[in-house]
Amino acid sequence: MSGQRMQRAKDKIEVMRKWSLKSRDLCLPHLIPLSRQPLLLEYNSKMAPISFKVNPEFAQISELVPRLFICGVSALSPANMKAFKISLIVNATKEVPNLKSLGEIQRIKLWVDDTTDEDLFPHFDIVADQIHAVIQDGGNVLVHCVAGVSRSASICLAYLTKYHFRSLRAAYHLMCSKRPMVRPNLGFWRQLIHYEQLIKGNAGSVRIVRDEAQPDKLLPDVYLKNVIPERVPSPDRYEKLDEPRERQHSGARPKFRPVLEPLTEIAEAAA
């Protein structure tokens, strides 16, 4: 192993050691509930405090479908865990530890950053299946990141696409109706589109397009104000359309004869 690779491996091990999930490395978080004040999570004396600036509106816990909840870090309190009867917490961050104060709730921690080059794809299917298993057993699942906007939303979209909706687009529209601020980054959208293609066997219901206001910027078309709706007819519609098509194409086909508007009328309309 080269010197650089060895150093990277050592750095990764050091990060994992610092953010160990052992309960002795954690203590109660100190939350500052004032509007737009930083959220401080303090650990033991060996670790420096970490500060997060979290918009208060992101602190709410949103129920996307029965038994599946999403939130930001500032909603992580023992009272909320009890009120929502949470039995599994999916922590989709590198920077937020699994908090001891939340009790003996089952945890899944994903060591991911909110960057466009972060590889979240390998987690989609495994975590979606785990969420589904817990919900099927009657449990409630909470997925969180720092703001409840990008990383946690991407994990929830993977689950919703696989188990609740025929398409990623439909899953996003449902999520947006429940939590309007959700906005996964472009890299996560590319991975979600690929995931939908694999599990649904389609070409993908969401497209990456250029923003007309900023031509050098790419974004998923669901972020546009005027989005072309998904054109995926249901099986019933296919059955109704197939029969008249067959009758139309049987026998001699009438010759197409275009009807031309008089030039004077076009000129008047333009005027």
Question: For residue range 201-244, what is the model confidence (pLDDT) as tens digits?
Answer: 999 999 999 988 888 999 999 999 755 444 444 444 333 333 33
DSSP 25: G
**Residues 6 or more apart whose Cβ sits within 8 Å of residue 87:** 105, 106, 134, 139, 140, 141
- Strand 86-91 to strand 106-109: parallel, antiparallel, or no bridges (unpaired)? parallel
- Classify burial at 91, counting beta carbons within 10 Å of its beta carbon; exposed 0-12, middle 13-18, buried 19 or more: buried
Rounded to two decimals, what is the model's pTM?
A: 0.66
Counting the structural domains of the chain, the total is 1
**Residues 6 or more apart whose Cβ sits within 8 Å of residue 1:** 9
Residue 108 maps to a domain: yes
Question: For residue range 12-39, what is the model confidence (pLDDT) as tens digits?
Answer: 445 444 433 333 333 223 222 323 333 3
Q: Is 176 a catalytic residue?
A: no
- Across the chain, mean pLDDT equals 76
Give the number of C-alpha atoms closer than 13 A to the C-alpha of residue 215, restricted to the C-beta side.
0
The pLDDT, as a whole number, for residue 113 is: 97
DSSP 158-193: HHHHHHT-SSHHHHHHHHHHH-TT----HHHHHHHH
Residue 217 maps to a domain: yes
Residue 148 maps to a domain: yes
Residue 165 maps to a domain: yes
The pLDDT, as a whole number, for residue 31 is: 28
Residue 238 maps to a domain: no
Question: For residue range 247-271, what is the model confidence (pLDDT) as tens digits?
Answer: 344 445 444 454 444 444 444 444 4
The pLDDT, as a whole number, for residue 243 is: 38
Q: Return d(Cα 184, Cα 271) in angstroms, integer.
A: 47
Q: Tell me if 189 sits within 8 A of 208, measured CB to CB.
A: yes
**Is 246 strand, coil or helix?**
helix
Question: For residue range 126-151, what is the model confidence (pLDDT) as tens digits?
Answer: 999 999 999 999 999 999 999 999 99
Closest CA to 144 of 234, 52, 236, 218: 52
- Give just the sign of the alpha carbon dihedral 114, 115, 116, 118: negative
Question: For residue range 37-82, what is the model confidence (pLDDT) as tens digits?
Answer: 333 343 333 444 555 555 667 779 999 999 999 999 999 999 999 9
Of 71, 145, 156, 176, the catalytic one is 145
Residue 249 maps to a domain: no
Radius of gyration of the chain (CA): 25
Q: Return d(Cα 185, Cα 112) in angstroms, integer.
A: 13
DSSP 113: -
Q: Return d(Cα 119, Cα 76) in angstroms, integer.
A: 25
CATH value at residue 200: 3.90.190.10
Provide the domain limits for residue 207: 21-228
Residue 252 maps to a domain: no
Q: Return d(Cα 142, Cα 68) in angstroms, integer.
A: 6
